[in-house]
Structure 1
Amino acid sequence: MPTYHYRCKNCGYDFTQEQSFEDSALTVCPNCHEEQLRKVFSAVPIEFKGKGFYRTDHSSK
């Protein structure tokens, strides 16, 4: 199940929540109860391991 990061624009409360893909995004802050909650998006780290990922690598035949 995916984990989403939320932050309230009103009080700054910051938390993560596990939600299904079918669930609607949360909008009400559990701390101050205002509708100022927004998802926080960040870059996902990607790590390439093994041969063949770079132009200078040669794949085995």
Structure 2
Amino acid sequence: MPIYEFECGGCGHRFDRLQKMSDPDPTGCPQCAADQVQRKVSAPSFRLAGSGWYETDFKKDGDKKRNLAGDSAAPAPAPAPAPAPAPAPASSD
């Protein structure tokens, strides 16, 4: 269940509430009982970042883990071409 943040428009009191997505939002402020409560948009308390996210981190040691962050089927970049050999000096025979 997600945690939602609410703010009272009357007194400015902010509070969090753990509720189902289908539950109705509270209408009254728990501090002043005003009917001016609105849901706030807030950032989550965690961030999923980096290249270490696997299909599941709970597989057995023998099972192969797939990295979902990158495309393993992408071809590797081609190496740079080798420089051309220098021309041989002209001989004076």
Q: TM-score, normalised by structure 2?
A: 0.51
Q: Quick one: distance in 2 between partners of 1:7 and 1:27?
A: 11
Q: Quick one: distance in 1 between partners of 2:27 and 2:42?
A: 19
Q: AA paired with 1:49?
A: G
CA RMSD of aligned residues (A): 1.8
4+ runs deviating over 4 angstroms: 43-46
Structure showing the higher strand proportion among its residues: 1
- Report what 2:21 is aligned to: 21
Structure 1 unaligned blocks of 5 or more: 53-58
Q: TM-score, normalised by structure 1?
A: 0.73
Q: Quick one: distance in 2 between partners of 1:60 and 1:20?
A: 38
Structure 2 unaligned blocks of 5 or more: 52-68, 74-93
Q: Number of residues paired by the alignment?
A: 55
- Report what 1:56 is aligned to: none
Per-residue Cα deviation, 1:3-35 (whole angstroms, up to 9, x for no partner) = 000010100111100001121011110100010
Q: Quick one: distance in 2 between partners of 1:11 and 1:32?
A: 7
User: SS in structure 2 opposite 1:17?
Assistant: strand
Q: Which has the higher contact order (CA 8 A, sep 6+)?
A: 1
Query: How far 1:43 sits from its partner (Å)?
Result: 4.4
